[in-house]
Structure 1
Amino acid sequence: MIKNEKIKAAEVQLTGLNGEDLGVMSTQEALLLAKQHKVDLVCLSLMTSPPPCKLIGAGAAKVEAQQAKKKASKSPDKRKVKEIRLNLAMEDHDRDTKQSQAERILKKGDSVKLVIQVHGAKEGVAGKEWAEQLSKSLAEFGSKTTGVQVSGKQVVVQLDPNA
C-alpha cells in the first residue's frame, strides 16, 4: 500500500473522505488536503494514469487493507476438488452411497471429480454413459465444468457447485 509522500505521480484522481469525487489534482495539493483533515492519502492502484487515490482516516487504511486480504482468502477460487473413485462393477447400494457423498461435497461448496475405473473400449462407453447419468442426477447441486473425458482406463468428469 502506497500512501502519503511515497506517491510519486505528478497528478492523482482524488476521492474524499465520504466517497465524493474531488477530481484530478496535483499530488502536492492532495497531500496538503490530507494534512488539513489529519488523514492519509492512499494510492488505490498504479495501473492507471492519473492513479486513483483516496483520503482515509489515520489507521483506517491499515484496517481496510486487512479486511481486503481477509475477503480475498475467502474467495471462491479457493475451492477444493474432492475426487470420488468409482468402478463399473460396484453394487447399486455402493453407487448410491458415492452419489450421496458427491451431493454432500457439492452442498458444502467444493468441487467433485468423479473418476470411473474401466477396462477396455466397451466398458469405456458404459462408463461414459454412467458419468452422464451421474452428472444429470447431481444437476441440482452442481454443473459440469469439463465434458466427460474417456482416456484409457478411466472416465473422468468434474462438477462445480451451483452458485
Structure 2
Amino acid sequence: MRGTTIAQEKEARINHEINAPEVRLIGVEGEQIGIVALGVAVSMADEAEIDLVEIAPTAKPPVCRLMDYGKFRYQESKKKHEAKLKQKQVQIKEVKFRPNTDDGDYNIKLRNLINFLVDGDKAKVTLRFRGREMAHQEFGMRLLERVRDDLEEYAMVEQWPRMEGRQIVMVLSPKKKESTAAKNKDTKAKEASSNNVKELSNIK
C-alpha cells in the first residue's frame, strides 16, 4: 500500500508524485497495457490497492508499472542483504617469525600461511628483532625471502619486505586460481612438447 514512509524512502516516484500527463503502463504481471492518462493509471492502482511506480522517468512518455511498492522494496532489500552475506570478507591474518625460528616451527607457520591463503585471506608476515638482533637484519630478510619462495605457488607479494620499527613486514595476497581452460592449454602444451621430444629421440 501507499504511504508517507514509502514515499520518503523510495528512489522512484510513485502515484501522484509522477509528473506527466500520460504514461506507458505495464501491468502487475509485466504485460503491456499501453499509453494511458496518468489519472487513469493512478485509479487502476487505487482499485487494485497497489502502487503506480515510475520505472523509466526519462522515457517519453514515462514508463510506469503497477506493483506493491512496499513489498518490492522489502524483497530488493532482502536480496541485497543476502548477497552481502555471501560475499566473503577478505581478512589479513598475521603470522609472526623470529630471526632464529627453527625448521619445525617454520613449517608449522608455513602451513598456517598456506591455509589462510587457500581460504582467500591475505597474510601479513612479520619478523621482530630483539636487542642486538637489529645488527643482523640480513638474517631476517633472508628468512622472509625463504617464506616468499616457499609460498610462490599460493601467493604473490602485495607489499615487499620493509622495516617498520624493530620488525620487517611483508604482505602476501592469494594467487587467483588458474582457469580450467588455461590449465588444459598448459597441459596440452606440455604433452605436445613431450611428444616432440619422443619423436626426436626415435629419429636418432
Q: TM-score, normalised by structure 1?
A: 0.65
CA distance in 1, matches of 2:139, 2:17: 65
Moved over 6 A (4+): 6-9, 16-19
Q: Distance in 2 between matches of 1:134 and 1:55?
A: 60
- SS of aligned partner of 1:148: strand
CA distance in 1, matches of 2:151, 2:13: 53
1:6-155 alignment runs, 5 A limit? 35=45, 41=53, 55=65, 57-58=67-68, 59-76=71-88, 78-118=89-129, 119-123=133-137, 125-155=138-168
Q: Where do 5+ consecutive residues of structure 2 fail to align? A: 1-8, 31-37, 177-204
Q: Does structure 1 conserve the Cα–Cα contact (< 8 Å) formed by 2:14 and 2:52?
A: no
Q: Higher helix fraction: Structure 1 or Structure 2?
A: 2
Rg comparison, structure with higher value: 2
Counterpart Cα distance in 2 of 1:160 and 1:128: 19
2:169 maps to 1:156 = yes
1:49-99 Cα offsets, whole Å, 9 max, x none, are 96xx985853243212211122124435x2221111111111111101100
When the two structures are aligned, how many residues end up with a matched partner?
Answer: 144
How well do the aligned residues superpose, as a CA RMSD in angstroms? 4.0
Corresponding letter in the other structure for 2:112 = Q
Q: Unaligned 5+ residue runs, structure 1?
A: 20-27
Higher strand share: 1
Give the Å deviation of 1:144.
1.9
Higher relative contact order (CA 8 A, sep 6+): 1
